[in-house]
A and B are shown apart, each in its own frame.
Chain A
């Protein structure tokens, strides 16, 4: 498997469960090593780096894990300000203020949720906190999303999708998302990669995906009975 994502590009990687979608994100972040080949981030092979060099490169990458992966013993405010708490010498007051701003940016009221534990929030709110936490870390240039809307109700999913799209457009962040929610995928990105049995079965835009006759891609998309025209219309609505 080989593909390239350019700066400020937005890509969704789709595929059946167990096809290796999340593993691709973990490879990009350097949490796992490929059996062969290389993983180049900003032209540097993260897969062969020592841990301290990986740490430097990871400062340019923000990751939103499946289910958020919030630290359950910390409050929402502490979660959002986690990177600054660990790496900066800022006072808690200053960090708290930045966390408050970030919570506002992701559409949450800091007064309402700041002192709560993650388990006290809904799934959608947890995802937004996770996005805020990733953004407040080091102002990343690359954002990775692992199943950002899986398990969320339609309204919560729409809020998360709007936030992801807005981040990509307003900050020019390179976005790589992994999902098997087809309709949500079309709202997030301009380019789609469909993987099947460890290979790339499709890599292209929405129109090309619609016209694709590769049986592996058709097989993957058909069970969801997605009407491309309906989704295309919804995509335009979401983008306004």
Chain B
């Protein structure tokens, strides 16, 4: 599948279409999720930090937690739930109605035509969506910090900036890149290997979302553990 990205033909129009469907189509969901999860997170931490007289550090906590964990993981899970199911269902339906075989019969490689555009789209869009999620979550935290916790705006943003380190940003972008590969491979694999008609496609779709989500959570832990140790000085 990865090899299909680097050899002709390149299906640019399919890729652009997927970017619109996956990227632009997921935007409202990511923004809503980012705002409310950021605010909820900030609210919970404000109360705990206030007990230690440290609510001014809210910005620092938000920046670190959102960039490293909340943003990438929630974005990955949300994209997996929304997009993985769609990809698996589409490919599975094509397979059960012999459209994949028809494509092969007409000299088209289904990996290049169907899988590669989706892989490329996810690799490009999931990090972008993660950045959007991070931004709105931190802004949501600002809202809670300023209007509920009565932290000054300057204090909040200066603390946010304090944790905008190379390490946190690198981890915050490396994770969505890996998650995008997980979503693409699992959803396409489940689609191409689905069997048993519509029931089989339904099963494959569910399995695709479940497997993508579980793998994202497991891989997230290991990336945090391994990368966190490797770039400790940059965090």
Contact = CB atoms under 8 A, between A and B. Distances in A.
A19 interface: no
Contacts of A137: 106
Contact of A71 (B99, B107, B109): B99
Given A58-B105, A82-B106, A86-B106, A67 B99 contact: no
Interface in A51-105: 51, 55, 58-59, 61, 63, 65-67, 69-72, 82-83, 86-87
B101 interface: yes
Contact of A86 (B98, B104, B108): B108
Interface in B47-102: 97-99, 101-102
Contact of A67 (B97, B103, B107, B108): B97
B99 A31 contact: no
A51 B104 CA distance: 10
B88 to A, nearest CB: 16
Contact of B101 (A59, A61, A65, A86): A65
B107 A69 contact: no
A69 B106 contact: no
B98 A69 contact: yes
Q: For the side of the interface on B, what is the size category?
A: 10 to 19
A148 to B, nearest CB: 14
A29 B101 CA distance: 10
Contacts of B104: 31, 58
B97 A63 contact: no
B101 A31 contact: yes
A63 B108 CA distance: 14
A132 to B, nearest CB: 13
A233 B103 CA distance: 39
B102 A69 contact: yes
Interface in A124-145: 137
Nearest to B97: A69
A218 B101 CA distance: 34
A72 B99 contact: yes
Interface string A21-34: 00000100101000
Contact of B107 (A31, A65, A66, A86): A86
Contacts of B101: 26, 31, 65, 69
A51 B103 CA distance: 13
B97 A72 contact: yes
A144 to B, nearest CB: 9
Contact of A55 (B99, B102, B107): B107
A66 B99 contact: no
B197 to A, nearest CB: 12
Contact of A58 (B97, B98, B107): B107
B94 to A, nearest CB: 8
A65 B98 contact: yes
